[in-house]
Amino acid sequence: MNNIEKIKKIEKKIKYKFKNKDLLIKSFLHSSKHKKLKKISNNHISEFERLEFLGDRVLGLVIANLIYKNFPDYSEGQMSIKLSFLVKKNFLSEIANELKIYNFIEISNNKNINLKNNKSILADTMESLIGAIFIDGGFTESIKFIKKFWFEYIKDEKMQLNDPKTMLQEISQKKSKKLPIYKLINKKGPPHSPEFTVEVNCLKLNKIKGTGPSKREAERIAAKNFLDFHKLIDEK
What is the distance between the alpha carbons of residues 118 and 121, in angstroms, rounded to a whole number? 6
- H/E element, 60: helix 47-70
What values do phi and psi take at 73, rounded to 5?
A: -95, -5
Burial 98-133 (b: 16+ CB within 10 A, else e): ebebbebbebeeeeeeebbbbbebbbbbbbbbbbbb
141 is catalytic: no
> Of 47, 124, 127, 163, which one is the catalytic site residue?
127
56 is catalytic: yes
> Of 52, 56, 136, 163, which one is the catalytic site residue?
56
Q: From residue 221, how far is each of 159, 164, 184 by CA, in Å?
A: 12, 8, 13
**Residues classed as catalytic:** 56, 127
